[in-house]
């Protein structure tokens, strides 16, 4: 049973914890089974940050184990300020570690009209989107500004963003510990939503699980495992990579990582390593696997910590397991046109790639047909670096997204496929339709400073409105405004300043990858 109250002077006096809040009149109290929590109100939206859903998994007795549900807290939980993500490598070269080893948490945005106030009940049961952040399975942050759920909530959709373990703690294979601990965290967060979202005005039977990049692959894994059955009813995948490790590959990475640290490859051994050293070596391991002779196709990926085929969460592979997805779940899946430019433009790699590197990648991929012609720099009028970025984009994100659309269509799911084609002017007009650029359009958060670095100061309003409204429509109705995907016409929505539906875009590229196994 939900109980919510706008804080008044009387409530402040009745509990001294309330006195710490500077603006009690703009706060909201919610009581759930775990206890009382206080969020903040702004522009008609109540926001609750840093709400624990699982007990601290970094303590000695819980380290590298399956998550344990958070039970209760004493007193009032202040949920008015964003918390830290899990320990992970910093993006700042001058800092090694960001995040903190603490409880696993989530954030919630809900319209004030959806929750009871001043003992007046609310009869609304709104649809929910649970967002899984990306970050190559070595980073994640549910409080990133791009994921602010205010605009969704103002349009009667509740947003939940979740933190989960990544890197060594989330995905390293260890004897005596379950694999894919980060995925287990996500499942527990979804269980929390089922149990508690009604207390925030949400409908647990209208949950869309969504994510971008590693978050999108996580969604695919959740679709393919019976462990998440019944926890969501719709799914959205933006730029899913679908990379994974076999048991043999995972064991090899663990041995290499622990050998460098001169520790045993055990839970006990890794538990002795301070977090700054632990995450520094996560990045170093990414460089280690770039040795193509020793690591083969893994050398083209850039991250060593990935979901593992464990026979429990992942049976065959994230892609093959989609054959077990429930056909009743509608799906949006797609990618940006130039995904890898996010990594290659800011780093300068797009200007330093050689023809030899491009040829090596094409050779390793062993694509059917004439890849050298399809990815010809001369025929396409592109530089070697631009062409290499196209190949990496197709290999890492674009073709996995297309193969998901095809697989789920064969599985009788209703699927809507899209391409994001808008060319960002960032980085001196070089960034283009890169990875992540679509996310601020979906959330209608293009005006924050983080987003401006990727989309510029004047992104097209029409595109913002179009994408945001399409995601709203799908979350509310289980349908999008363009034609569902089929294997004959292959309808695809091309999101741009003037968005339009097109059939079978880049068919020559699609045919190259037709028999490639992701």
Active site residues: 213, 339, 435
Cα angle 112, 329, 305; round to 5 = 90
Residue 374, CA distances (Å) to 250, 354, 395, 508 in order: 34, 18, 14, 7
What is the C-alpha to C-alpha distance for residues 19 and 49, in angstroms, rounded to an integer?
19
**What tokens appear for 383 in the block?**
């530089």
**What tokens appear for 287 in the block?**
């460089």
Number of H helices, E strands in the chain: 20, 16
What is the C-alpha to C-alpha distance for residues 392 and 397, in angstroms, rounded to an integer?
8
Closest CA to 478 of 412, 417, 418, 416: 416
- State phi, psi for 424 to the nearest 5 degrees: -70, 140
| Whether 303 contacts 283, CB under 8 Å | no
End-to-end CA distance of the chain: 45
What is the C-alpha to C-alpha distance for residues 478 and 378, in angstroms, rounded to an integer?
44
C-alpha 421 chain-centroid distance: 20
DSSP strand pairing (45-54 vs 35-42) = antiparallel
| Whether 11 contacts 29, CB under 8 Å | yes
| Whether 330 contacts 237, CB under 8 Å | no
């Amino acid at each position: 049973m939900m109980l919510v109250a706008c804080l008044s002077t009387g409530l402040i006096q009745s509990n001294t914890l309330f006195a710490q809040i500077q603006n009690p009149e703009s706060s909201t109290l919610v009581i759930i089974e775990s206890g009382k929590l206080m969020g903040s109100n702004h522009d008609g939206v109540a926001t609750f940050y840093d709400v624990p859903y699982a007990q601290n998994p970094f303590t000695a007795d819980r380290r590298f184990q399956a998550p344990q549900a958070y039970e209760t807290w004493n007193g009032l939980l202040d949920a008015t300020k964003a918390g830290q993500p899990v320990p992970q490598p910093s993006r700042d070269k001058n800092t090694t570690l960001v995040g903190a080893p603490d409880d696993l948490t989530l954030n919630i945005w809900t319209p004030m009209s959806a929750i009871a106030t001043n003992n007046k009940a609310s009869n609304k049961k709104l649809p929910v989107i649970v967002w899984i952040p990306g970050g190559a399975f070595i980073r994640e942050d549910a409080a990133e500004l791009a994921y602010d759920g205010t605009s969704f909530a103002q349009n009667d959709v509740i947003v939940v963003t979740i933190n989960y373990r990544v890197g060594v703690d989330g995905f390293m294979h260890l004897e005596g510990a379950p694999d894919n601990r980060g995925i287990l965290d996500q499942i527990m967060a979804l269980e929390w939503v089922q149990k508690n979202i009604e207390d925030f005005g949400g409908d647990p039977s209208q949950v869309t699980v969504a994510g971008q990049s590693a978050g999108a692959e996580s969604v695919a894994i959740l679709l393919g495992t019976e462990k998440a059955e019944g926890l969501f009813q719709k799914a959205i995948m933006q730029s899913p990579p679908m990379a994974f490790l076999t048991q043999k590959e995972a064991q090899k990475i663990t041995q290499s990582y622990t050998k460098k640290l001169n520790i045993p490859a055990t839970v006990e051994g890794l538990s002795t390593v301070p977090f700054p050293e632990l995450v520094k070596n996560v990045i170093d391991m990414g460089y280690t696997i770039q040795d193509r002779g020793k690591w083969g196709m893994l050398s083209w990926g850039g991250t060593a910590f990935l979901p593992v085929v464990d026979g429990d969460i992942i049976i065959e592979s994230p892609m093959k397991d989609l054959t077990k997805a429930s056909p009743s779940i509608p799906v949006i899946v797609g990618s940006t046109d130039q995904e890898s430019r996010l990594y290659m433009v800011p780093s300068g790699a797009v200007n330093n790639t050689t023809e030899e590197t491009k040829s090596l990648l094409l050779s390793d991929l062993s694509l059917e047909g004439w890849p050298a012609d399809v990815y010809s720099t001369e025929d396409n009028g592109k530089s070697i670096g631009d062409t290499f970025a196209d190949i990496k984009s197709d290999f890492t994100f674009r073709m996995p997204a297309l193969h998901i659309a095809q697989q789920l269509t064969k599985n009788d799911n209703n699927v809507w496929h899209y391409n994001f084609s808008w060319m960002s002017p960032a980085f001196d007009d070089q960034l283009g339709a890169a990875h992540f650029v679509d996310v601020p359009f979906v959330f209608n958060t293009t005006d924050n400073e983080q987003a401006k670095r990727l989309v510029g100061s004047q992104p097209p309003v029409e595109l913002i409105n179009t994408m945001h409204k399409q995601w709203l429509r799908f979350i509310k109705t289980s349908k999008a405004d363009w034609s569902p995907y089929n294997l004959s016409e292959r309808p695809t929505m091309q999101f741009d300043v003037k968005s339009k539906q097109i059939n079978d875009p880049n068919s020559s590229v699609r045919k190259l990858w037709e028999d490639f196994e992701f």
